Structure formats: C-alpha cells, structure tokens
Amino acid sequence: MKKLVLSLMMAVVLVSLMSCTGGDAYVAGMELKSDKTRAVSDASQSDLETLVEGNSAFALDLYQQLSQENASNLFFSPYSISVAFAMTYAGARGETEQQMAEVLHFDLPQDRLHAAFNLLEAELNSRQSLDEEDYFQLNIANAIWGQNGFEFLDEFLDTMAENYGAGLRIVDFLRATEEARQTINQWGSDETQGKIEELIAEGDLDEGTVIALTNAIYFKAKWYSPFMEENTHDAQFTLLDGSTVTVPMIKQDMSFYYTEGSDYQAIELKYKGHAFSMVILLPRAGEFEEFEASLNAQKVSDIIDSMEGQALNILMPKFGYETGYRLEKILSDMGMPNAFSNADFSGMAANAADLYITDAAHKAFISVDEKGTEAAAATWVAIAGLTEIEFNMNRPFIYLIRDIETGTILFVGRVLNPGA
C-alpha cells in the first residue's frame, strides 16, 4: 500500500472516554436514604444499542452547539453530561420530560432508559484490564447530594441506587452552603485524580438548592503503539487564520486504521488492551469550517466503518488543556428550556411544584503525549425550590436588629398595631 503522510493539524478529535467502575453509594457520616443497591440490569441488547445511538447523536449535537459559541479548543465528555442529566431526567415529568428526551436523545421509556444506562456501565466496566501489559485506569462515579430534611420520593431514590450506584448523601445547602460545595468538590477531585479540583465554583449553590446530581469520569491509558520520545521535534502548526505557531510534534511510522474523503482524512489510534481508541478527523487544508459544520453522528459512524489498515507516517502535536462550560443556556437553546424555569420534577419529590434546575456545568481535562492519554471530566446539576413556608406578619410580632458577626443586639422592638 502507498505510504501516506498524515500531519495531524487542525483536527477534530473524538476520544472514547466512556466507562465506569460504579459510583459510591455512601460516605461516612452521611445518611443513606435508600437501602437499594445497584441491580443487575435486565435491559436488552436492543435497548443498549438504542441508548448508544441516542448518546452519540446528543454528543454531536452538543459539539455543534459548543463549536458555534466557542472560538477556542473544545473538549468535553458527552457521556458524563448524558449520565448526569439522565439522573435528573428520572424525576422529570410532563413537558419537561418531553423536552429533555428530545434534546438528550433519550429514546426509551423511563424504566428501560435507566436500565440501559446500567447495562452500558456494566459493559464498559467489563473491558477493564489489570494485566500489567494492558493495564489502564478507568473510573466513573455518580452521586446525588440532598438537602437535609427534604423528602424525596422512594421511587426516585431507588432508581438512582439501582441503576447509577448513587445513594443520597445528606448535606445542608440551607445553613452550610459553602461546606456542602466544598464536600462535593472534594468528591469530584478524588474521583478524577485531582484533575477537576473545583467542579462547583463559589456562589453557584445557594440556600435554595435541594439536590445536586454529579458525575465524574477519569481515564488514563497508554498507546498500543507508543511514540518514541527521540522522534519528537518542534514544527509549525497552521491556525485557521493562516498564521502558524511552533509546537512539539510526536512522530510514528506504523500501520493504523485509516480512511479519507474529498474533504478529510481520518485515523484510529488504539490504546493498550484494544478496548478504547482515539479517532481523529483531519479536514483538508482550508475546509475545516465546512467539514465541521457537516458532522453528525451518522457521518462519524460511516467514517469509522470505512477505515482499513494502512501504513502511515503520523505527525501529531502534543497537547493538553482544561475546559469548562455552563450548560443552562446551551441546553435551553437546544430545546429544553422548561427544565430551567417552568419545570415539572414531580417524579423526584411529592412537594416538587417549585423545583427547577438553577445551574448545570461541565469541566474537562485532557493531556496527550508520546506515552498516551490522560483525561477527566465532571458534570453537576443543581435543583432548587424549597417548598415555601408561609410567613405572613398579619398579627403582632417582635423584632430585633443585630450585628451578624458578633451577634450584638442593637435594637429590639415589637409591633402590636402597625397603624398606630
């Protein structure tokens, strides 16, 4: 076969980072509100295929949305976002449920969808290898954090525990908001080997939060065919505007799965164990925007299916960066605004009339070098709307004015007749 030169510049990178070990269901000192444990999924292979197809469609839909709103490097885990919102979706009903299903491509009924997510996790987890030659690190964890005293439906909690390995961890958003935030952030850091240190920024949670649903993924694997460090050299990388920057390029001559079209080249780089791979799509020079705009799940699938073995000379830049995205506006614009305003989460709690998603965000990390890839991502969804207690001062009351920090009472009074 003809030996091709594949210079990996201005590439759209799609990394398979989907797998899991099953999230913790309990943390010492936190009350577990469901005694259910992760169940063996009874989902069918057909349901699993439907779920994966839907997740892939959402992945490319979200990529298109993010690419339009960001002029810099992109990196995110659609799997992490899908899982976090699937847990949220378990409590959605009515038009909120319908909108979420359409945007997230949840094409199965609620019970079958969550069972399929459970089966997908088991399938991915089965690919792990502890063999020294093929070893790679892979972890996924799910957790839900609920306001102390807020009553969630048993059916919702059981769905979380049985299908996502996520027991309810009790925190106090109302009186100890910052402590709750730090607790969740420590969990996120632990589950991503310190790569996502501050999943939730200061001020993103408030006293009205009643539940936060979180997912974290960590992945680290060596290339099946590592690049030799002595071949790494500085070279020019051409930006979209035609200017260039000097970056370290790693190089390898080997046979890989490869395909090409009139406007692109594509390659698959496998990791040790052959369970995961990185698929790289390289648009032809000057055709990046047009090719990127044409991408959807079907096109990506067709490209991968057309790959065949080919001797290649690969030049790829070493790269690494962190990203972060607020998801409220993005997902609202994609077609699910109700979840963030006029929501129906009556499947989550009996007194859920005022519940809605107040914040949702995603953070990710990627590092690629001669040895392999390290990546991490985490997603959180916060729902607020504590059931209102009427405080109607239509009768005599006592009041005081005080200094909060010292507790010094400066004034005290009472109102027996406000009209006197």
* pLDDT tens readout for residues 102-156: 999 999 999 999 999 999 888 877 776 666 666 678 888 999 999 998 999 999 9
Q: 15 or 409, which is more confident?
A: 409
pLDDT of residue 32: 52
CATH 3.30.497.10 region(s) of the chain?
Answer: 12-222+320-384
Largest Cα span, the chain:
99
- H or E element at residue 121: helix 110-125
Tokens in use for 398? 């006592």
pLDDT of residue 173: 94
Tell the CATH topology of 4-10+227-318: Alpha-1-antitrypsin; domain 1 (2.30.39)
Look at residue 14 and tell me whether its pLDDT is greater than 80: no
Helix and strand totals (H; E) in the chain: 9, 15
Q: 295 or 130, which is more confident?
A: 295
* Amino acid at the residue 360: A
pLDDT of residue 21: 33
CA 329 to chain centre: 16
User: What does pLDDT average to over the chain?
Assistant: 84
Instruction: Write the burial class of residue 195 (CB in 10 Å: 0-12 exposed, 13-18 middle, 19+ buried).
Output: buried
Q: 399 or 227, which is more confident?
A: 227
Going by C-alpha positions, the residue among 44, 84, 298, 305 that lies closest to residue 188 is: 84
Going by C-alpha positions, the residue among 373, 374, 360, 296 that lies closest to residue 80 is: 360
Look at residue 202 and tell me whether its pLDDT is greater than 80: yes
**CA atoms of 153 and 394, how far apart (whole Å):** 34
Q: Give the architecture-level CATH label for domain 12-222+320-384.
A: 2-Layer Sandwich (3.30)
**CA atoms of 267 and 286, how far apart (whole Å):** 19
pLDDT of residue 332: 97
Global pTM? 0.88
**CA atoms of 110 and 79, how far apart (whole Å):** 18
- H or E element at residue 361: strand 356-368
Q: How far is CA 329 from CA 206, 213, 297, in A?
A: 19, 18, 23
Q: 218 or 102, which is more confident?
A: 102
CATH 2.30.39.10 region(s) of the chain?
Answer: 4-10+227-318
**CA atoms of 138 and 374, how far apart (whole Å):** 10
Per this entry, what is the length of the chain? Answer: 420
If you average pLDDT over residues 21-45, what whole number do you get? 56
Best mean pLDDT range from 15-29, 93-107, 245-259: 93-107
Percentage, residues of the chain above pLDDT 70? 83
